[in-house]
């Protein structure tokens, strides 16, 4: 995991707990293929911006991506 590169126990523990909660959240998603499929094009956009060195664009796209993903997982959990 990328977080492990920092070799900080506290950061690694927070990341491990977050990943555990995310896995539990994804269990609530009724159609995982549709959920993840909706993000494939956005992955390409973020990757493209990064490879072109457009880091501000990549950062903005990633922030929106993560917010949208969080909202969808929370919505799935809440029913």
Phi and psi (nearest 5°) for 49? -60, -40
The whole-angstrom separation of Cα 19 and Cα 13 is 10
Query: 78 vs 56, which has greater pLDDT?
Result: 56
Predicted pLDDT of residue 51: 96
Q: What percent of the chain has pLDDT over 90?
A: 39
Strand, helix or coil for residue 52? coil
Interval 19-45 mean pLDDT: 87
pLDDT greater than 70 at residue 57? yes
What is the pLDDT confidence band of residue 49, given thresholds at 50, 70 and 90?
very high
Strand, helix or coil for residue 79? coil
39 touches 76 (CB < 8 A): no
């Amino acid at each position: 995991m990328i977080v492990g590169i920092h070799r900080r126990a506290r950061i690694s523990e927070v990341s491990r707990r977050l990943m555990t909660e995310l896995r539990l959240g994804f269990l609530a998603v009724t159609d995982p293929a549709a959920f993840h499929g909706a993000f494939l094009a956005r992955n390409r956009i973020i990757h493209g911006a990064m490879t072109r060195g457009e880091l501000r664009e990549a950062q903005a796209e990633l922030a929106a991506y993560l917010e949208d993903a969080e909202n969808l997982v929370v919505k799935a959990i809440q029913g």
